Amino acid sequence: MVERIVAAAEDVVAERGYDGTSTNRVATRAGVSPGSLYQYFPDKDALITEVLDRYVTALEARISAAFPGRLGPDLSPASIRGVVSELVDALAERPALLRVLSERLPRTAGHRRVAFAQRIDNVTTTALRFRNGPDPLVPVEAVAWVVVRTVEHVAISYVLEEPDLERSMVVDELCTLVSAYLRLRAAP
Amino acid sequence: MVERIVAAAEDVVAERGYDGTSTNRVATRAGVSPGSLYQYFPDKDALITEVLDRYVTALEARISAAFPGRLGPDLSPASIRGVVSELVDALAERPALLRVLSERLPRTAGHRRVAFAQRIDNVTTTALRFRNGPDPLVPVEAVAWVVVRTVEHVAISYVLEEPDLERSMVVDELCTLVSAYLRLRAAP
Amino acid sequence: MVERIVAAAEDVVAERGYDGTSTNRVATRAGVSPGSLYQYFPDKDALITEVLDRYVTALEARISAAFPGRLGPDLSPASIRGVVSELVDALAERPALLRVLSERLPRTAGHRRVAFAQRIDNVTTTALRFRNGPDPLVPVEAVAWVVVRTVEHVAISYVLEEPDLERSMVVDELCTLVSAYLRLRAAP
Amino acid sequence: MVERIVAAAEDVVAERGYDGTSTNRVATRAGVSPGSLYQYFPDKDALITEVLDRYVTALEARISAAFPGRLGPDLSPASIRGVVSELVDALAERPALLRVLSERLPRTAGHRRVAFAQRIDNVTTTALRFRNGPDPLVPVEAVAWVVVRTVEHVAISYVLEEPDLERSMVVDELCTLVSAYLRLRAAP
DNA sequence: TATGAATGAGCTTTCATTCAT
DNA sequence: AATGAATGAAAGCTCATTCAT
């Protein structure tokens, strides 16, 4: 039941965006009565949050798996390229949901997204610390934060803006950008 | 009158977001009758578009002014820092509007925002070409696109996420990132 | 529920005419919420169309039943009188609805009304042909059309104008008129 | 000024019907401010009444002129044909206004129309009395009423329904109908 | 548990009318 | 006299939510 509802909601959200998603429409699509919907979700927002939450979870799984050694401390160019490439692929799979997620970020499912980003921040921070050792001159938290936002949003922009640029070229440049920066931020 | 309405709409949009902005609410806030609103704006969307448009215009003006020599081809670290710093300041001034603008990107005022970003793309492309000369090995369009998105979205993320990081530190890192990358992308 | 709504709408339409019938007014009169109305009718027009449609249906049923032999080819004075008399009675029953029907003829339920009139045209044409045989000198379609409009509109005028004339007298004259004409238009 | 307003209103009413005629639209069309309109007409209805009133007046003038001897007592077939033919022509000139007049009959300008019809009733009654002498067996008022309504509404129906019938044929039949009836209703 | 009819506040928009200028 | 900005009641309609069954 919950599955049917969430699946229907996913479709509707992807097709019609946040505002175009009415509880009645979801219920109809799920072949369920509007009342039933409220047996499992307190309100509309909770339902859509669930949809976006699942999306973020799936995204997390895919991206985490791309980190060699499960989010390990590897920051070599090859590893970076693998992660970035996988990230773009993952985001490109459901652009409609990505768009809704980007639009509605702070209100509902934003928490999950931010939480995920922060986890990546931590992993990156750890990796930097591991590589650099205790170096008070490099603000690793800030470095990690900037790098993670850069990769995240450039990838998202590429998927949503659909600029007239080759995917591989953009991925190359993004990797070059990140590698150049991280090389600079590694202890000498 | 138009000023009163737009000002009220600005407040309401900032406070309650796009969907929470009802024409009646704006009219009430402006101390004006709902009908008056339609003497100056054909519909709700036109009103909100006007609000976001003004915001984008103000942003543009401030950021453009930050480019030494009027968006000139200067890409020195000092110039980059000036622009980035001004960008963060400008974005930080009305975070609520920025949030709505980010949410509603593709529908309404998004055009303006995208158009502005593309103009910056062009300026950056020109600057790179100027600096590099005709070098077929560097894909200047992609470089410009990546750099501009990076700066734009890292700055936006900083304003909207309010991470526990010093502003100057983030700006420093962002500049370091961009400078390192552009140095690499300059002809040898 | 549908019954309650339609009944209320009937009252309101009869009392206040087409434009004076607002969905809220109907809902209030029916003791029902405005939303409920839209569970059964897609919009205001559909509701009023339903009201007028029912009225036309009832009218049709009554008048058709008055034709001896179910709209048969009988055009004797007695048959004419029966039909005309019944027509006036039927129309006189809900003058307010008749007025709205006349006002709104071409837009909505007018189709039904026109369609009904055309059916009567056909019946009359057939009856005339049956009586006359193939007589190229008498334009039976035109004869039928003129006769049917005459009876229809004189009856309607009598009901809506309420002239200071005895009902039976007007019916007599109308029948005389029609009989004289049809006698003339019969083959010699 | 009044002329400009009424002329504009005439156009708008003919183009968009009663409901589609808003005071603002009329004012705009007349190149006049909405306020000015209320200097000459107490409300919207008064304005449209004026429009329809003028239309009825023009109709009256044309039709009256068609009566040989200025609405004289002549009821010969030739005279009937002249009047009927002129009536159809007159009505066919502004079908849009005729439609509005028919739709809105009882509320506003209906008085004028009814009053005109009654004047024709009187003329016809007088003519019948003149021809028949004091004959208590023929209810001249009813005869006149029926004849006038017949001619009026058959003509209107022809103009508004646009049936697939030759104009001259319908006029012929209508005249035949009237003549047959009146011959019968003349004193022997 | 599941239903779905019913709700009603709230939405965007129109337009006849007024009144300070 | 003429203006036209301003009005505000009311319109048609939507949809998140409830509750008797």
Residue range C34-63, pLDDT digits in tens = 999 999 999 999 999 999 989 988 888 888
Residue A35 has pLDDT above 60, yes or no: yes
pLDDT of B32 reads 94
Average pLDDT for C81-99: 88
Residue D6 has pLDDT above 90, yes or no: yes
pLDDT of C107 reads 46
Print burial letters for A74-96: b (CB count within 10 Å at least 16), e (below 16): bbeeebbbbbbbbbbbbbeebee
Q: Which residue has the tokens 């006359």?
A: C132
Query: Taking the CA of residue C127 as centre, how many other CA atoms within 13 Å lie in the half-sphere pointing to its CB?
Result: 26
Tokens for D175? 């005249």
pLDDT of C63 reads 83
Q: Which residue has the tokens 């490099």?
A: A138
Nucleotides of F under 7 A from a protein CB: 1-20
CA closest to B165 among chain A residues: A142
pLDDT of C106 reads 47
Helix/strand number for chain B, H first, E second: 9, 0
Q: Look at residues C105, C114, C124 and name the one whose alpha carbon lies nearest to residue C186.
A: C124
Whether C114 and D161 lie within 8 Å, measured CB to CB: yes
Residue A116 has pLDDT above 70, yes or no: yes
Alpha-carbon gap: B148 to the closest alpha carbon of chain A (Å): 9
> How confident is the model over A146-174, as pLDDT tens digits?
999 999 999 999 988 888 999 999 999 99
Residue B175 has pLDDT above 90, yes or no: yes
- CB C8 within 8 Å of CB C26: yes
pLDDT of C27 reads 94
Torsion sign over Cα C56, C58, C61, C62: negative
Whether C170 and D114 lie within 8 Å, measured CB to CB: no
Nearest nt by C1' to C20 Cα: F11
Of D114, D143, D180, the CB nearest to C173: D143
Average pLDDT, chain C: 85
pLDDT of B73 reads 57
Q: How far apart are CA A68 and CA D160, in angstroms?
A: 81
pLDDT bucket at B110, cuts 50 / 70 / 90? low
D141–C contact, CB cutoff 8 A: yes
- DSSP for C86-130, please give it: HHHHHHHH-HHHHHHHHHTTTTSTHHHHHHHHHHHHHHHHHHHHH
C49 touches strand F (CB under 7 A): no
Residue B181 has pLDDT above 60, yes or no: yes
The SS3 of residue C40 is: helix
Residue count (chain D) = 188
Minimum-distance residue to F19 (CA–C1'): A35
Residue D109 has pLDDT above 60, yes or no: no
pLDDT of C77 reads 78
The highest-confidence range among A73-82, D117-126, D171-180, by mean pLDDT, is D171-180
Name the burial class of residue C104, with classes exposed (0-12), middle (13-18) and buried (19+) by CB atoms within 10 angstroms of its CB.
buried
pLDDT bucket at C126, cuts 50 / 70 / 90? confident
Task: Measure the N-to-C terminal CA separation of chain B; round to a whole number of Å.
Answer: 58
D14-17's contacts with Cβ under 8 Å and 24+ in sequence apart are D14/D94, D14/D96, D14/D97, D14/D100, D15/D96, D17/D96, D17/D99, D17/D100, D17/D103
- CB B143 within 8 Å of CB B187: no
A92–B contact, CB cutoff 8 A: no
Tokens for D132? 């028949």
Alpha-carbon gap: B67 to the closest alpha carbon of chain A (Å): 22
D166–C contact, CB cutoff 8 A: yes
pLDDT of D106 reads 47
Q: Which residue has the higher pLDDT, A18 or A105?
A: A18
Of A103, A173, A184, the CB nearest to B146: A173
pLDDT of B37 reads 94
Of A142, A169, A184, the CB nearest to B142: A169
Residue A107 has pLDDT above 50, yes or no: no
**Residue A100: how many other CB atoms lie within 10 Å:** 26
Minimum-distance residue to F2 (CA–C1'): D36
Average pLDDT for D138-158: 91
Average pLDDT for A69-75: 56
Q: Look at residues D143, D153, D150 and name the one whose alpha carbon lies nearest to residue D184.
A: D143
Alpha-carbon gap: C138 to the closest alpha carbon of chain D (Å): 10
Contacts of A98 in chain B (CB under 8 A): none
Give percent of chain D with pLDDT exceeding 90. Answer: 36
Tokens for A162? 């659909």
Contacts of D99 in chain C (CB under 8 A): 106
Average pLDDT for D62-86: 75
Q: Look at residues D93, D120, D115 and name the one whose alpha carbon lies nearest to residue D105.
A: D115
Of A142, A165, A184, the CB nearest to B142: A165
Touching partners of A (3+ C-beta pairs < 8 Å)? B
Alpha-carbon gap: A143 to the closest alpha carbon of chain B (Å): 6
Q: How far apart are CA A149 and CA D20, in angstroms?
A: 56
Q: Which amino acid is at B165?
A: L
Q: Which residue has the tokens 């925002």?
A: B113
Which of C15, C104, C146 best tests the D interface by mutation, with the highest count of D CBs <10 A?
Answer: C146
A139-143's contacts with Cβ under 8 Å and 24+ in sequence apart are A139/B169, A139/B173, A140/A185, A141/B165, A142/B165, A142/B166, A142/B169, A142/B170, A142/B172, A142/B173, A143/A181, A143/A182, A143/A185, A143/B173
Task: Give the domains, in start order, of chain D with CATH numbers.
Answer: 1-41 (1.10.10.60), 44-185 (1.10.357.10)
- CB A153 within 8 Å of CB B157: yes
> How confident is the model over B28-62, as pLDDT tens digits?
999 999 999 999 999 999 999 999 989 988 888 88
Q: Which residue has the tokens 């009103």?
A: B47
Q: Give the DSSP letter of residue D122.
A: H
Q: Look at residues C89, C154, C148 and name the one whose alpha carbon lies nearest to residue C118.
A: C148
pLDDT bucket at C120, cuts 50 / 70 / 90? confident
**Measured CA D79 to C1' E6 distance, in angstroms:** 66
pLDDT bucket at C105, cuts 50 / 70 / 90? low
pLDDT bucket at A64, cuts 50 / 70 / 90? confident
pLDDT of D71 reads 47
Rg (CA), chain C: 19
Residue A108 has pLDDT above 60, yes or no: no
Torsion sign over Cα B178, A146, B110, B99: negative
Q: Could you tell me if residue C69 is left (phi over 0), alpha (psi between -120 and 50 degrees) or otherwise beta?
A: left
Average pLDDT, chain A: 85
Which of C116, C181, C183, C185 best tests the D interface by mutation, with the highest count of D CBs <10 A?
Answer: C181
Nearest nt by C1' to A45 Cα: F16
Of B17, B141, B146, the CB nearest to A174: B146
Rg (CA), chain A: 19
Nearest nt by C1' to C19 Cα: F11
Q: Evaluate whether chains C and D are touching (3 or more beta carbon pairs less than 8 Å apart).
A: yes
Whether A149 and B145 lie within 8 Å, measured CB to CB: no
pLDDT of D108 reads 46
**Measured CA C5 to C1' F20 distance, in angstroms:** 21
Q: Give the DSSP letter of residue D138.
A: S
Q: How far apart are CA B78 and CA A27, in angstroms?
A: 57
Residues 6+ apart with CB under 8 A from C16: C25
Cα separation values, B20 from A25, A63, B11, B13, C63, Å: 21, 35, 12, 7, 57
